[in-house]
Amino acid sequence: MVRPVHRFPRARRGFSLIDVLVAIAICAGAVLAGLALFGPAMAATREVADRRTAQRLAEHVDAELTRAGFAAVAAATAGNNTLELVADSAGTRVVLAADADNDPVDGTPRGLPREQRYFRITVARAPRPAATAACVVLAVRVSWPHLRPPDGAPVPEAQRAESQFHTAILR
């Protein structure tokens, strides 16, 4: 039996350049769509972590107010005056804003470097119940980010998130 001879060579099987370019374009589109979702997801994760830290700050704020003393807190919050504190992004170091510029190592009390000041805490007297000689009820407002890491640039008030809680200091 004689095999017929083809005049044209048999076409090679595989992908053409067009097929490869289309596949690369589809993959690139999928990667870009994934990256577009990644940014907002990271921002939402950071916001949740910051809100949890702000809620946990109550214990540290109470400790710092106790360290300052009843008389100092009562005097600083008399009338419409407020007392300001700052905290780091982890919420583990809370210091009075007046003490924040102290040396973080040798200062007494220890300060907090400017580039680490993430939370701004404002303490004012709560409108009710009225303060007594033995107790002052305080309204605490925590806002963040106060200064943007790593350079410590101020963040406009309109771009900050906030949380509020109440506490009291006893004589």
What pLDDT band is residue 158 in, cutting at 50, 70 and 90? Answer: confident
Which residues are within 8 A (CB) of 57 and not within 5 positions of it... i.e. 6 or more apart? 87, 91, 94, 119, 121, 142
Distance, in Å, from the CA atom of 120 to the CA atom of 86, rounded to the nearest integer, reads 5
Candidates 64, 83, 101; CA nearest to 138 is 83
In the three-class reduction of DSSP (H, G, I as helix; E, B as strand; rest coil), residue 26 is classed as: helix
Average pLDDT score over residue span 138-147: 91
Average pLDDT score over residue span 126-139: 86
The predicted-structure confidence for 64-78, as pLDDT tens digits, reads as follows: 999 999 999 999 999
Candidates 82, 80, 87, 38; CA nearest to 64 is 87
The predicted-structure confidence for 100-126, as pLDDT tens digits, reads as follows: 888 877 767 788 888 888 899 999 999
Q: What are phi and psi of 90, to 5 degrees?
A: -85, -15
Distance, in Å, from the CA atom of 128 to the CA atom of 139, rounded to the nearest integer, reads 10
pLDDT at 104: 74
pLDDT at 134: 85
Is residue 64 within 8 A of residue 84, CB to CB? The reply is no
Kindly report the pTM of this predicted structure.
Answer: 0.73
